[in-house]
Amino acid sequence: MILLGVLYYMIAQGGQYVALAHLPAITVSLMLSLTAVVVVILGILFLKEIPVLLQWLGIAVFLLGLVVYFYPVSFSTDDWIGLAFALAAMLSTSFSAILGRLINRSKTLPPVIVTVISMAIGSVLMLVWGGISEGIPSLGGREWLIVLWMAVVNTAFAFSLWNLTLQTLTAMESSLINNTMLVQIAILAWAFLGEAIDLKMGIGLVLVSVGVILVQLKSNKTAD
């Protein structure tokens, strides 16, 4: 539980914020989307959760969708700090999925308890990290409302659902569903921010969605 708190909250979330300070959001999204591949490999090695043929096909279609959506992506050697933190966030998220599945599939602890304990550990460490590196910020009423929403809905509620899914779904299945954020964000950005979705991006989003559906159509027996 301590390790989950360190990996999933302090390093994964904190690393993502630092990466976004140095890299474009699309580059960070690409790096984080690679968790699907790493989780598959780690799930086979540590959890013995081996995808069936239809799931391998879904993974291939998902990755093809990522390539189509993000192509072309260019990296600058000047972005090594951002890339390093994005890589750390991606690897920490991947190992957290495996560790979370290992903790939750036994169903000995309720998902809320797993969330509360691991989040409490990780959030305290992140607060100390932020306080030392950036100092304690002065927040107004609007900022506190944003923090409250992020804490209750985007974090506590969302991560409780995440731990709940890991009781019945394999780490790979949960991670691929989690990566549909790429599709959701693109649609929400189009609806609320007026950001266009061109043909190439649309094809990529469809392929990503089809890949996730294929993986979920055939549940791995080790998840039962």
Q: How far apart are CA 98 and CA 219, in angstroms?
A: 17
- What confidence score (pLDDT) does residue 75 get? 65
CA distances from 132 to 18, 150, 216 (A): 14, 22, 43
Stretch (H or E) spanning 90: helix 80-104
The answer to whether 87 and 18 are in contact (CB under 8 A) is no
pLDDT at residue 222 in the model: 44
Write down the pLDDT at residue 154.
86
Residue with tokens 């989040």: 119
Predicted pLDDT of residue 33: 84
pLDDT given at position 224: 45
Residue 68's pLDDT is 92
Q: In the chain, what are the domain boundaries?
A: 2-223
Note the pLDDT of residue 127. 87
Other CB atoms within 10 Å distance of the CB of residue 154: 11
Mean pLDDT per block of 10 residues along the chain (224 residues) reads 92 89 81 87 92 92 91 72 91 94 90 92 89 84 91 89 91 88 84 86 92 77 44
Tokens of 140: 């107004």
24: preceding bond cis by omega (within 30 degrees) = no
Q: Taking the mean position of all CA atoms in its chain, how far away is CA 187? A: 18
What is the distance between the alpha carbons of residues 81 and 17, in angstroms, rounded to a whole number? 12
Query: Rounded to whole angstroms, how far apart are CA atoms 89 and 101?
Result: 18
**Residue 5 pLDDT:** 92
